[in-house]
Amino acid sequence: MRSPITLVISEPKLLAVFNVTASIYIATSSLHQIPLWLTAVTKILPILCLGFFVLAQGKKFLLSHHSLLKLLAGLVFSGLGDVLLVPSNYFIAGGVMFAIAHCFYIWMFGFKSVNLRGGSVVASATLIGATLLGTCMWRKDMATWQILALFCYCAVIGSMVWRANAEVLFHTPKPPAKVIGGLGAVCFAISDLTLALNLLCFPNIPYRTLIVMSTYYTAQLFITLSVVNDKKRHD
C-alpha cells in the first residue's frame, strides 16, 4: 500500500503546474496596482488546474464514478467563491458559494462510515471555533442574522471535515487516499478559521494571506488527489 506522501507526489505534472499557479497568486495578491479581474483570474488558476486534472481522467471514468462529478461541482462553486471574494463587497455571496461547495464535498465523501466518535471530536473543535468567532461578532455589535449565518457555515464545514475523516479518525486501517482527503479537509478549516479570525477578532495577523491561501490550495489539492486515487484503487 502506498504512503500518503507517495500518493501526493504521484502526479508530478499536476503538482508542478498547480504549485506555479498557486505561487503566482500568493506572490502578487498584495500588489494593489493589479486590476481586480486579473487578481480573480490568478486566484482561480490553481482550481482550474484541478478541474482539468479531473476531466483528464476521461469521460468513461467520470461517469462511472459519480463522486468525481460531485468533486467537479465543488471545485466550480469554490472557484465562484474565490472570484466573489476578490471585491470586498461580495463577501457574503462568496461565503454562500463555498458553503454550497462544502455540501457537494459532504455528498461526495458520503456516509458509508458514520464514525460518531470522530464526529464528536470534530464537532467539539467546530463549536469552540464558532463560539470564539461569534463572541467577536457580538462584541462588534454585528447583526443577529450574521452571527447565525456564521454558525451555519461552521456547521457545514465541520460536517465536511467529519465526513472526510470518517475513515481516518479512530479508524484502522487508514487508507492513504482517505488520509490525504482528511488532511485536506482540515486544511480547509484552518484556512477559513484564519480568514475569519483576521476579519473578526485579530486584524492584521502576520502572513495571513500566505497562511489562508497556502492551506486553502493544499486543501483543494489533497481533496482532489484523494478522491481520484481512491476511485482508481477500486477499479
The residue range of the domain holding 23 is 4-234
Give the integer Cα–Cα distance in Å for 56 and 140.
47
Give the integer Cα–Cα distance in Å for 163 and 110.
7
Which tens digit of pLDDT belongs to each residue from 85-102?
998 889 999 999 999 999
Q: What is the mean pLDDT of the chain?
A: 93
Tell me the CA distances in angstroms from 2 to 8, 13, 175, 208, 230, one per residue in order.
Answer: 10, 19, 9, 34, 12
Which tens digit of pLDDT belongs to each residue from 25-84?
999 887 878 899 999 999 999 999 999 999 998 888 888 889 999 999 999 999 999 999
Give the integer Cα–Cα distance in Å for 92 and 69.
26
219-225 mean pLDDT:
97
- Domain count along the chain: 1
Q: Which are the contacts of 118, defined by CB distance < 8 A and separation ≥ 6?
A: 162, 165, 166, 168, 169, 170, 171
133-159 mean pLDDT:
96
Is the four-CA dihedral 124, 126, 127, 133 of positive or negative sign? Answer: positive
Binning pLDDT at 50, 70 and 90, where does residue 2 land?
Answer: low
Report which of 23, 70, 42 is spatially closest to residue 223, judged by C-alpha positions.
Answer: 70
Question: So what's the pLDDT on residue 11?
Answer: 85
Give the integer Cα–Cα distance in Å for 102 and 75.
10
Question: So what's the pLDDT on residue 61?
Answer: 86
More confident residue, 165 or 8: 165
Binning pLDDT at 50, 70 and 90, where does residue 200 land?
Answer: very high
- C-alpha torsion 91→93→94→97, nearest 10: 160
The answer to whether residues 16 and 34 touch, using CB atoms and an 8 Å cutoff, is: no
